[in-house]
Structure 1
């Protein structure tokens, strides 16, 4: 039986945790392999071929642990393959590495961020024998251009997502006094998330009796105060899917993503998702045949116009949840 070591030490919250949970769900049926998962989370599974070892990292600790620190686990388990969800991988056995890459900033030149420069250096110099997994053809093309890898060394794999069996309503946290209720499903106000752009439409929200709920921590004051903005902080996936049912529209302001899974989770409701027209969003719009309820806007003024035109738009739901994880299993 082949042993697969899975490094997900940084998959603590957000999209990274979602991807890990989806992966674990997918490998439940792959009983011909033994999976050892290094993770901050230990799932209660009946499957005996999947085991967990606690490992939690962040920042530069993740870089060190990924490229060198997991050596003790490599020695302990003698894996046939090492799957890393940390953008990098173990540099001393690059030929057995499968690296899940989801850091779009590393695909751009000119970043002053030291961590991004470290990513770029390690990928260029030490991981040429890895197979890299990315989430879209758009990111694959950027990766190939940036790092000059061979075509078959970078594979596009749509991640899909797990829909909770039950959702939890958060109606008590949403005011019933507004005509339209929206959601900004962003919990961290990194610069590329572009959440400050919401302030450009405060007047429009007030004039049209619109409330936007965000997942930002209200104590951090990422946005200036407005009675039309309701920040509730981080929530569970069950609560998130409950919110999808309770709100009328989604707004997504990010300028750069590998996917932006909440967009596609919400599109399944058939209700409109207003998404900033960044390159990744434009490419996904093409990839999925220009969904009627995926509404791209270039700036605040275009958002206002399109909102009034599309807020009552409904589309036949399309299933975006099915992933292409078989592509990773085939590499094992």
Structure 2
């Protein structure tokens, strides 16, 4: 019996949340492909980062160096490659619909900047965000209608797609909370209360709100807490700006850490902070919820949909450091009154996990 050939493309997914998406997908399809008549080919930036069996890996190490390389692969080289591989299914995990020859094509969307109105600060600290917010919207629409289905992470994104692009084949599939098997032991001062914000320093991640809120805290609160932020001055211009301006206690700039270390912090932390202005999901929210930890979140639709039904949550205005400072103070003083959150929507167009996505692609 001929095997169905599935190509999973994620050549630019090398760090942070987008790498987690690729890693989780490959982990799941590796297990899914056991005892099934399918062959999986993964297009990745660095195959040494993966050791999941039942997958053939192809490296594209130059794709991240220059944007022109990425465009060349997506719109020229992949057509040649697809004619050679002859895939039954081509799943693009990084937002664009490449020129390929395949029986069925699918797109997994997770890039929030097409919904983002860039500010002067974005252009100053990372011009790519400004360019993306303008250019990516057009790039994203190339070949969009040729996909059998588009998978998005949240219901609000599905509604945006239906309104903006008049699509009728958008399915919601929220990211699975795939817990790490191992976490690294993290030693934190047991006399302190620990807040944690794991995120890569992009200007829309809104680290400065935490800095401004920390300045407003009374000394009695500052002396009782540590706020751990996963950035260093060597990351980019935005991180240099944040650290230069807010380099004071209780902020603790721990730099980039491994996934195992992130989960170590989840175990030891007391509360997650998440002030990001825009996400297509917000994976740390889901992960913190998995550890049943309190969370203080941006008062935005993505955060409310991500946290779902949860008691230990309160929300703050992303432009109001005073409000965040008050919530942090109340948390330390154990006087916080959680706002709680309830979220329901029509689940008829929802795929619950990666296996459901794989089933859908093979059967439809």
Q: Same fold (TM over 0.5)?
A: yes
Q: 1:16 to 1:314 in 2, by over 3 A?
A: farther
Q: What is the match of residue 36 of structure 1?
A: 41
Tell me the distance in 1 between the aligned counterparts of 2:112 and 2:134: 12
Q: 1:331 to 1:64 in 2, by over 3 A?
A: same
SS at match of 1:139: helix
Q: How does 1:300-311 map to 2 (within 5 A)?
A: 300-310=321-331
Greater than 4 Å deviation, 4+ residue runs: 92-95, 108-112, 310-315
SS at match of 2:361: coil
Q: What is the match of residue 20 of structure 1?
A: 22
Tell me the distance in 1 between the aligned counterparts of 2:294 and 2:163: 34
SS at match of 1:281: helix
Q: 1:309 to 1:32 in 2, by over 3 A?
A: farther
Unpaired segments of 5 or more residues in structure 2?
120-128, 339-350
Q: 1:78 to 1:95 in 2, by over 3 A?
A: closer
Tell me the distance in 2 between the aligned counterparts of 1:67 and 1:105: 21
Q: What is the match of residue 95 of structure 2?
A: 87
Q: 1:187 to 1:121 in 2, by over 3 A?
A: closer
Is contact 2:316-2:324 (8 Å) kept?
A: yes
CA-atom RMSD in angstroms: 2.6
Q: 1:301 to 1:29 in 2, by over 3 A?
A: same
Tell me the distance in 2 between the aligned counterparts of 1:109 and 1:147: 18
Q: Which of 106, 129, 137 is 1:120 aligned to? A: 137
Unpaired segments of 5 or more residues in structure 1?
316-321
Q: 1:206 to 1:258 in 2, by over 3 A?
A: farther
The normalised TM-score by structure 2 is: 0.79
Q: Does 1:215 align with 2:244?
A: no
Is contact 1:104-1:258 (8 Å) kept?
A: yes
Tell me the distance in 2 between the aligned counterparts of 1:53 and 1:126: 23
Q: What is the match of residue 212 of structure 2?
A: 200
Q: How does 1:80-159 map to 2 (within 5 A)?
A: 80-93=88-101, 96-107=104-115, 113-130=130-147, 131-150=149-168, 153-159=169-175
Deviates further, 109-118 or 244-253: 109-118
